[in-house]
Amino acid sequence: MSLTIAALVAQAIALLGGHRFPGLTLAVVALLDCALLVVSPGNSTGSLGTVLAVYGTRRELDRGRAFVWIGPLAAISVAAAVIAGPDAGIDGTWIVPFGIARVVLLFGIPVLLAEVAVSRVQLIEALRQRAELAEREQTATARHMVQQQRTQMARELHDIAAHHLTGIIVSAQAAGALADRDRPEQRRYLAALQADAREALDHLRQTVGLLRSDDGDRVLPAPGIDDLPRVVQEAAHRGTPVDFDTVGEPGTIGPVAGVVVIRGVQKALANARKHAPHAPVTVIALWSSVELRVAIENGSTTATPLAIPASGYGLAGLRERLMLVGGTLDAGPTRTGWQTTLTLPTTTAPSADKDEHP
């Protein structure tokens, strides 16, 4: 009896170190169980400690390292059962099956339960990692969308500022040149300068206001393809001799594409005023069944180009904006000047004939 108590106390003490030294703990507990079985045949009091140690070893160690300890100790346990079998009153033909059954109970079942527990932990960890990955992807997507919105806003602000400030500079320079010889014409340029400044302020206020969620003011509609005649007329009021013509039956383009066209035409007209002051400009909107082609061409001039700083983006920025809406940009010198052509696909609505039933 005292031997059994001593063995159980030793197993309990060994199990205290199962977390830090799982393999060594299993060895101590299993060998004490085998020793107790051999010394006191039929005494399986130490079997519970072996079950706990086997389960803990598989939980703490990976499968390969765990079976390095479990395999030899299971074989020793079988040997101990074979040795103790005759003294425990077990028939000789049942000694080996008894040892195998004992190993299955003490080693096999705890390993199986530990495998289930480990698999569950691994599944939970995999789900956690997947959730973290999905959250990181969602955060990255949101950050990318915010960056895209900031880039679009920066382009819009740049186009607005470049167009109107170019007009303001042109009007101011023309007004200064007319100060002493044509006061009515000077007043016309000053009026155009004020109109440009007010329109630029309105557009900037509208664009920046889109960033404010607490702004209850009325938001002005974004410019569209229907505003193209007005844009050309404004350029004419600033002193640019410009002719506008539309060829073909006007179709439909998306709202974003409409904004791109307006900004592109404004950019082309501003470049004409900057590089070829007072040169005649023609703007032609050519509609077809599949695309809209807007060509802005200026003629030659003998005037000196205006000393206006470069905007920094120019045609490269316009080409990029057109690509985002499926359009293209062609720009280059002509025999008499410069031509900029914007081409965008049109959107076709189903005709009424196709919707009617025979």
Annotated domain spans of the chain: 2-133, 223-350
Q: Each residue's pLDDT tens digit in the chain (358 positions)?
A: 677 788 788 888 888 888 888 889 999 998 888 888 888 776 677 788 889 999 999 988 888 899 899 989 889 988 888 787 666 666 667 777 878 888 888 899 999 999 999 999 989 999 999 988 888 888 888 778 767 766 766 666 666 666 666 667 666 666 666 666 666 776 776 777 667 676 666 666 666 555 554 444 555 566 788 999 998 988 887 778 899 999 999 888 888 888 889 988 988 888 888 888 888 999 999 999 899 999 999 988 776 666 555 555 567 878 888 888 889 999 999 888 899 999 999 875 444 444 443 3
Supply the pLDDT for residue 356.
Answer: 42
Q: Where does 223-350 sit in CATH, by number?
A: 3.30.565.10
- For every residue of 131-154, DSSP letters joined together read HHHHHHHHHHHHHHHHHHHHHHHH
- For every residue of 168-218, DSSP letters joined together read HHHHHHHHHHTTTT-HHHHHHHHHHHHHHHHHHHHHHHHHHHTT-TT--SP
Q: Residue 100: which of 78, 122, 120 has the closest Cα?
A: 78
Supply the pLDDT for residue 323.
Answer: 87
| Identity of residue 337 | G
Supply the pLDDT for residue 96.
Answer: 79
Are the C-beta atoms of residues 324 and 266 closer than 8 Å to each other?
A: no
